[in-house]
Amino acid sequence: MTRAGDSWASAGEADLDAARAVAGAVPDPELPVVTVADLGILRDVAAEDGRLVVTITPTYSGCPALREIAHDLQYRLSQAGFAEVIVRTALAPAWSSDWITAEGRRKLRAAGLAPPNRAPKGPVPLTLGDRRGPVLCPRCGSGDTRQTAAFGGTACKALFRCEACREPFEYVKEI
């Protein structure tokens, strides 16, 4: 890995830590209140044959944010002095909303977005009623909320309304 005015051999782990910090701070294009590290999209930052290799994973198969994220990683790391940056995609294991960190959940809530409940494990039976349990209103904390649409403005969100404070809010779906 080459870094302007420096050499990988002498810089070593410190450089990799710096790269991790820069990559981890990249905001998600669709949910800019959280970073790719908060969401668990950033899987790995490593040195490989003198190059910096950053591995990311898509949240949803068709997520158009992925190439924006790759671009942002390339840009920010190049600005930080990393000359050769490769962004790779990992498909397995599939992203789960359970990977959103405690810090990420706090930031979502602070921005008025309800963080996801625990994702179902294993085969999912057909549910004709409610399977996810109460979704708490990010504004007033009430569990008296109602889903108004199963899909929101992006693939990762659903629309809810709080029956207590009457405010609508978005919920990050559990997958």
Partner 1 sequence: MTEDEFAAYQSLSGETEDHRWAFGTGFTDPLEGIDTSVPDSVDAQALATYCLMLGDDALVYSHRLQQWMTRMPELEEETALANIALDLLGQARMLLARAGRAEGALLTGGNGPDEDELAYFRDEHEFRNVRLVEALDADFAELAGRLLVFSAWRLALFARLAESADPVLAAIAAKGVKELTYHRDYAAQWVIRLGDGTPLSHGKMQAALGTIWPLVDELFEADPVTAALPGVAADPAGLRGEVGAVLDAVFAAATLDRPGGAPMARVAGKSGRDGVHTEAFGYLLAELQSVARAHPGATW
CB of 158 to partner 1, least distance (A): 9
Nearer to partner 1, 134 or 153 (CB): 153
Distance CA 146, CA 120 (A): 20
**Local structure of 130: helix, strand or coil:** coil
CB of 57 to partner 1, least distance (A): 9
Residues facing 21 on adjacent strands = none
Nearer to partner 1, 73 or 136 (CB): 73
CB of 151 to partner 1, least distance (A): 4
Tokens 């209103």 label which residue? 137
In b/e form, how buried is each residue of 5-14, taking b as 16+ CB within 10 angstroms? eeebeeeeee
Residue ranges that bind partner 1, judged by CB under 8 A:
55, 58, 60-64, 67-68, 70-71, 74-75, 78-79, 86-96, 120, 123-124, 126-128, 148-155, 159, 173, 175
Nearer to partner 1, 110 or 133 (CB): 133
Question: Can you list the alpha helix ranges (DSSP code H) found in the chain?
Answer: 8-11, 13-24, 36-39, 65-79, 102-110
CB of 110 to partner 1, least distance (A): 25
Distance CA 44, CA 52 (A): 10
CB of 146 to partner 1, least distance (A): 13
Nearer to partner 1, 90 or 140 (CB): 90
CB 59 within 8 A of CB 39: yes
Nearer to partner 1, 36 or 87 (CB): 87
Distances (CA, A) of 125 to 110, 122, 130: 33, 9, 12
